[in-house]
Amino acid sequence: MRNMLKHITGVETYLIFSLFLFLVFFAGMLIWLFVFLKKNQVEYFKNVPFDGTENNAKFPKMPILLLIAMIISPLSAFAQDKPTFYVDSTLFTEWTMLFLIFIAIFLTAITLGVAIQLLLIMYNLTATEEEKQLGIWQVLLGLKPIAKEKDLMLPEKYDGISELDNPVPAWFNMLFGVTIFFAVVYMGIYHVWKVGDLQDEEYVKEVQYAGVQKEQYLKKIASLIDENNVKVTKDKKALDEGAKVYQINCASCHGKKGEGGLGPNLADEYWLHGGNINQVFKTIKKGVAAKGMISWEKKLNPLQIQNTASFILTFQGTNPPNPKEPQGEKFVEKSSAKGNAK
Amino acid sequence: MKIEQFAYDNRTVRDFGVATMIFGIVGMLVGVTVAFQLVFPALNFGIQYTTFGRIRPLHTNAIIFAFVGNAIFMGVYYSLQRVSRTRMYSDTLSRIHFWGWQLIILSAAITLPLGLTSSKEYAELEMPIDVAITLIWVVFGINMFGTIMKRREKHIYVAVWFYIATWVTVALLHIVNSFALPVSWFKSYSLYAGVQDALVQWWYGHNAVAFFLTTPFLGMMYYFLPKMANRPVYSYKLSILHFWTLIFLYIWAGPHHLLYTSLPSWVQSLGVVFSIMLIAPSWGGMINGLLTLRGAWDKVRDDTSLKFMVVALTAYGMATFEGPLLSLKSVNAIAHFTDWIVAHVHVGGLGWNGFMTFAILYWLFPRMYQTEIYSKKMMEWHFWIGTLGILFYAVPMYWAGFVQGLMWKEFLPDGNLKHEFLATSIQIIPMYALRGIGGVLYLGGTILMVYNLWQTARKGVFLANEQAEAPALEHEVIHVGHSHWHKIFESKSLVMLVGSLIVVSIGGVVQLVPMFFVKENVEKISTVKPYTPLELEGRDLYIREGCNNCHTQMVRPFLSETERYGEYAKSGEFVYEHPFLWGSKRTGPDLLRVGKKYLDSWHYYHMLEPTSISQGSIMPPYPWLFEQTLDYSLINVKMRAMRTLGVPYTENEITQATENIKIQAKGIVENLRKEKKITVNSNLEIIAMIAYLQRLGTDIKVEKQQNIDTQK
Amino acid sequence: MDTTFREQVGVLDKKGGRNWIYAKKPKGYFYNWRKVMAFALLIVLFATPFIKINGHPFMLFNIVGREFIIFGVPFFPQDFYIFALVMLLGLVFIALFTVAFGRLFCGWVCPQTIFMEFVFRRIEYWIEGDASQQKKLNALDWTTDKILKKTTKHILFFLWSFWIANTFLAYFIGVDALWKMVEETPIKHAGTFFALVVFTGAFYGNFAFFRELSCIVVCPYGRMQSVLLDKNSLVVAYNYLRGEPRGKIQKNQKELENELENTLGNTTKNTKKGDCVDCGLCVQVCPTGIDIRNGTQMECVNCTACIDACDEVMLKIDKPLGLITYASDESIKTGQKFQFTTRILAYSIVLLLLSTVVLFLLLTRPQVQVYVLKAQGTLFYEVNPNTLANLYNGEFVNKTFEEISIEIKPKYPEATIKMIGEKTTFKLQKQETKKATFFIEMPRQKLKKINTNVVLLLLVNGKVKKEINCSFLGQ
């Protein structure tokens, strides 16, 4: 069982926390009983018949028994050193965990309900006559006693319009309370305990996640080459592949022999966006939208781009016929120092 | 006890009512026009004064301040007199108020198409008109408080609480948001820059919705609904609870218009949580109204005014539930900048404001003309086509927003975006068409109403002064002893005024003051430099043409946006932006990082004929930019004004401005010639526009470049 | 007549707390038919996610994955204008329907009513007994019996809510994906699981506690329906002409009446009691806690429980049925039976027409969607001094489940298309989206202005399906 707990951190704390809560609750109740209760009310307690079958039992002992049973039962489960059952399957253990959590939540909910019931009983025992008439919710919500007002109609009239003195619906107050609670917790999460991600962290995570996804995808299509690790290939077969891609896709703009046309000359030493393999790769991959060079990364896989880029670099110095005039800067292989251009 | 005789002033009420109807028709007509301009961009007929960017503000201003504004005054002038049992304080002030307001509207209708705008949404009007609004608002205030003070009713009725809160808050919002430094009669620069300006603007913008479109209408509901249904208000306690909580919480919610922007996170979070907390107080009004009405539910079947009321309340309930929902960051991430928001505000506008106004008009006119409504059948028809109009408006817009939300954020598995921006725009054009039809239906209903009321007025006799009598108020009997604690507020209008002022100020102070004084809230970026003179002039053209009505300049920190547009916006980039131009709707793509993305000639052709570059675009052509010469006579004044506001222009830069403009313009002309052999005069407006667009968002790219360089 | 119902809300007590509605279990003609209806609808709801056509779900609304299948037909975000239209027509449909037939929807079709009345309340009846027993049980102290009953009930409620939430999830992500998530354990899909828990909680809260407040306070549609009603609309109504003056039946009522009739010759209105015996059953069965005899009210969802309850009594006291029945305000006033007026006929025709339009739209939805946009950021290129070229991106979406072949070609011979990396004829797999980039080249002398419209033809499987307008920049 202890191994299982490792799957969900904080389960222990959760149990300890709830146990602590109940302890506080019971302690509070005891203090209340012995310090604040008036004599006659203690008398009342003495007279409470502790026999559940009796119909006139006004003091429910069942819930308390249940409460105790509930606290003990999960504890006993966790107290065991060796589980009576053990199946070596994460699937099973995770489901068990979930089930236990579910049970725990469910039990907590019931205990809370019982606790509220107890609270109500205590309240009824200690409240003054006037308060009793009001009921606990009215006191908690600060509503005025309506029973005192014989008529709902308020005396004043405005141009014939009168107002009723109906109470604010309790569920309305509840709704309001819940939203306020939400607000407090929300501010707490993001700005006090700082456990929630604010937009900048959120963005960083999103980018990271997308990066991982993309990497996995590229792995799946068997290519992790990018502009940083691309290498010039001298492999004949690869260059033939590149040539094929070039003739289909590139030749219409850059000429069959790289002499240029719509697009710039690829056979001279002048490059608009850099002439080493990394830069050529990037230009093909991302494109230069403003100048009509489309991005190819959706059409060609990285390996194909590497082959094509390598093929394009073979044009260097071939001096094809009808060359287009040089564009861009003369490329000097200075970044070869970086080491990955060769 | 002495019974006093007096007469209610119906004339002012009637006049405001007539103005409501006239401007309702005008505002809706402009609305329908702009709606169809998004389907057929040619609908501006090639005229610069009727482009979407210029008349969309005309539509919003006409509806909010002319149609709804006049409706508010109509409702207030009628109900305030009666719940106070006195005539308005001063007939002269009533007249000044009426005509003053109409003149303001008229001047708005003239200046906005001329491109004289501050660019701040729902506060587009320029300085002189802003001052006029303030004056007239004060006149209204004196008249209102005068009336309240001379009332013959001991306590102030709940409707009037809302009127008081409206008055004081709108005054506060209007004045704070309109602070600007004028450079000429109709050109001024906002006192605030960038992030601060955005916060102030949406503090204003959101609360214009709250205190111009909501609280006065709640007040009117509290008078007219019980009157129509002849029922007592359901719960006095609920009135108190939701009044105070509503005005307290509303003022905080403004930052939800700026979620995921460069606004500091703590302000954003405040905007979120206060919007969520607004659900209950907003619904308090709806519940009180509905439960008031439920006692007369059988009347709803026969009484069309009540039907209008029920739809109004329902629309209010829907909009105020949807609002907080949209304020949740995860929802906002998808819905913001889309047509979903447009649908949301129109559910409120058409449903809540429009329908309640119609209900009140139908109820008031027969009474003031002492006759029955001319045609009940027509009323029924109006209700039907009006309701259908709302549906035809809202449903397609929700879907459009949904489509935008989905398509803008759709990625391919390789990490690329799936759709170009334009692909999405093309998808939603059919929805825009449907929305236009919805608008036509709604407008048709309104026209029917105007005709109906016109005929009603013709067959009746107008009662300008309605005789009434009431005992004088005995001032000394006011005692607080045993009555409800809230009666203190109801006994003294000034207590109410100060009380609401304090309550609404808290949120504003907490959010705005730290933004002005705590420097950490805006990061400093050394590479961000002021605009050159030509760019500054281009920016003013951008404002004049209202480009910010369709284009945002705010890339939010989402991968889908940084992939599409570039690095997300940093607060430090906007320190010289007087006013900020973040926009609130992406009918077109974001422009924050458009600078240097395309060639100068791209912009040239694109402004001349957008569809030639972006096939299927719904942006209208701007041929006048190619004909009008740039007027930069004020450039020195403008730069000095900017320097006063904290933009670090040197004296040298200011004196050299004209030279500088000529040099930069020449450069662009040269570029155009080189790129596509375009020959163009360097003194045209288009040159300044290109200069500005090419500068946008480039300062931060420079920083990146530097980083890379230093690494090397 | 007692008018407190106008001043206070039935479901709220005097302190603003909840006045819990213990609705008596209805039985009778309408209830039986509603049971059938509810059963059928529940089956449809729960079974639909499992239905597959050719291996594709019958219904799927996968928002995150942008995958939408309705009645086995795939839809794309690009088709949403049809949804908008369908939804609009649907709303108009319901509006017109309401004018004629009232809130039939609320009582017979609305999931809230069906789940509430035919799932959750039936569980409640089954475990805790009828209304009076429920009341008694709640007044009781917490005995073993009560704890057992309450716990069982809430566990069942919770399980049902969980099931409903799962079913909805299946509509959104598909049964297979859901099953996969279950198999891989929810811990791996914490986000989805959390959403599932939240929705389970929402359903549970709604059906176990919030109940009729959903209809009264939250539902805008219920309210909208109410304003659409007029005096000719069919609603659940009490025939006040027949029923009033109401009063407890006396043992010898009949004899008394006969006697009066004999002595006076006729029974006058003053002496004759109405058919309503004021037994209060119609109030007891009402799930929203109203008295239908007060007339049409905001809360009434037209569930027909009061009709059944009243008819049962009418049978017993030997009076004609239908003291409470489906009727219009007008029909009661005039004493006539509810009739199919020309108005209803006209509405029905309109509704029929609308449905046809929707059907037409769905059936004629284009099988292939094509968008041609100019490549972002490009202008024009000079191929040679006499020819200009523009670059375009085309997107071709095959919306069908079959493979098709696509061809594009210029309509007029002066233009030429140069595809990049693709031929002008290509295949599209089922549901495939393909992007193609191509140049259009135009001779300069054909370009009369800066922006020229060039028309392309789209051929699907060899047939011309569409003309594509492309704007061509350059002169």
Measured in angstroms, the CA of C297 and the nearest CA of chain B are apart by 6
pLDDT at B596: 85
Query: Nearest chain B Cα to A208, which residue?
Result: B559
Contact A168 B558 (CB under 8 A): no
| Range of lowest pLDDT (A100-104, B464-468, B619-623) | A100-104
Name residues of chain C where pLDDT drops below 50: 1, 267-270
Q: Which residue of A has its CA nearest to B558?
A: A203
Contact yes or no for C377 and A262 at CB 8 A: no
Contacts of B395 in chain C (CB under 8 A): 84, 87-88, 91
Q: In chain A, at which residue ranges do the beta strands (DSSP E only) sit? A: 153-158, 161-164, 270-271, 329-330
Chain B interface, best mutation among C296, C331, C371, by max B CB count within 10 A: C371
Mean pLDDT of chain C, nearest integer: 82
**Chain C, nearest residue to B420 by Cα:** C376
- Contacts of residue C137, defined as CB under 8 A and 6 or more positions apart, other chains included, come to C128, C129, C146, C149
Give residue for tokens 């054909």: C446
To the nearest whole percent, how much of chain B has pLDDT over 90? 74
Task: Chain B: list its partners (3+ Cβ pairs within 8 Å).
Answer: A, C
Shortest Cα–Cα distance, A89 to chain B (Å): 32
| Interface contacts (B, C; CB < 8 Å) | 146
Q: Are A180 and B279 a contacting pair at CB < 8 A?
A: no
Considering only CA atoms, which of A131, C154, A168, A109 is closest in space to residue A117?
A: A109
Do the Cβ atoms of B465 and B7 come closer than 8 Å? yes
Q: Determine the Cα–Cα distance for residues C68 and C80; give it in Å rounded to an integer.
A: 10
Q: C-alpha dihedral over B25, B29, B31, B34, to 10 degrees? A: -170
| CB spacing of A213 vs B413 below 8 angstroms | yes
Residues of C with CB below 8 A from A91's CB? 183, 185
The answer to whether the Cβ–Cβ distance between C187 and A166 falls below 8 Å is no
* Cβ within 8 Å, pair B237-A290: no
Average pLDDT over residues B181-196: 92
Contacts of A302 in chain B (CB under 8 A): none
Which tens digits make up the pLDDT trace of B384-428? Answer: 899 989 999 999 999 999 889 888 998 887 778 888 899 899 889
Q: Are C434 and C464 in contact (CB under 8 A)?
A: no
What's the CA gap between B531 and B189, in Å, rounded?
A: 14
Please enumerate residues of A whose Cβ is less than 8 A from a Cβ of B: 143-144, 153-154, 156, 158-169, 172, 175-176, 179-180, 182-183, 186-187, 190-191, 198-200, 202-203, 206-207, 210-211, 213-214, 217-218, 290, 295, 297-298
Q: Please, are residues B543 and B284 in contact by the beta-carbon 8 Å criterion?
A: no
Q: Identify the pLDDT of residue C139.
A: 83
Chain A contact present for C151, CB below 8 A: yes
Contacts with A147 from chain C: Cβ below 8 Å: 14
The reported pLDDT for the residue numbered A152 is: 65
**Contacts of residue C437 in chain A, CB cutoff 8 Å?**
294
Amino acid at B144: M
Residue type, C48: T
Is residue B88 within 8 Å of residue B80, measured between CB atoms? yes
CA distances from B459 to B12, B466, C197 (A): 20, 18, 63
Give chain A's residues under pLDDT 70: 1-111, 113-152, 221-224, 289-292, 298, 333-342
pLDDT of residue A261: 74
Question: Which residues, 6 or more positions from B189, have their beta carbon under 8 angstroms from its beta carbon?
Answer: B180, B181, B183, B578, B579, B638, B641, B642, B645
Residues A334, A269 contacting (CB under 8 angstroms): no
Comparing CB atoms, the residue among C6, C80, C379 nearest residue B601 is C379
- Best residue in B294, B331, B402 to probe C by mutation, most C CBs within 10 Å? B294
Angle at B699 between CA B695 and CA B705, to 5 degrees: 120
- What's the pTM value of the predicted model, to 2 decimals? 0.82
- Residue-level pLDDT at B251: 92
User: What average pLDDT does range B184-189 have in this prediction?
Assistant: 92
pLDDT of the residue at A26: 54
Q: What is the pLDDT of residue C14?
A: 64
B295 within 8 A of C6, measured Cβ to Cβ? yes
As beta bridge partners, residue C74 has C69
% of chain B with per-residue pLDDT over 70: 96
In chain B, residues with a C-beta closer than 8 Å to the C-beta of A290 are 597-599, 602
CB B318 to CB C63 under 8 A? no
Beta bridge partners, B233, equal: A163
Which among B235, B283, B287 is the nearest to A167, CB-wise? B235
Sign of CA dihedral A237, A243, A249, A250: positive
| B427 contacts in chain C (CB < 8 Å) | 77-78, 80-81
Q: Hey, are the CB atoms on C421 and A114 less than 8 Å from each other?
A: no
Q: Please determine, for residue B214, whether its predicted confidence score (pLDDT) is greater than 70.
A: yes
Q: In what order do the strands lie in the sheet with C404-410?
A: C425-428, C404-410, C451-460, C463-473
State the DSSP code for A32: I
Among the listed residues C436, C181, C190, C131, the one whose alpha carbon sits nearest the alpha carbon of residue A248: C436
- Which residues of C, range 38-57, sit inside 8 Å of A by Cβ? none
What pLDDT does residue A24 have? 60
What Å distances lie between residue C311 and B691, C240, C322, CA to CA? 82, 15, 6
pLDDT tens profile B261-311: 999 999 999 999 999 999 999 999 998 998 888 777 778 878 899 999 999
pLDDT of residue A246: 87
Query: What's the pLDDT tens digit per position in B580-617?
Result: 999 999 999 999 999 888 889 999 999 999 998 888 89
The verdict on a CB contact (< 8 Å) between B269 and A186 is: yes
* From A160, A165, A186, residue closest to B273, measured CB to CB: A186
**Which phi and psi angles does B9 have, rounded to 5°?**
-90, 105
Contact status of A206 with chain C (Cβ, < 8 Å): no
- The greatest distance separating any two alpha carbons of chain B, rounded to the nearest whole angstrom, comes to 94
Mean pLDDT estimate for chain B? 91
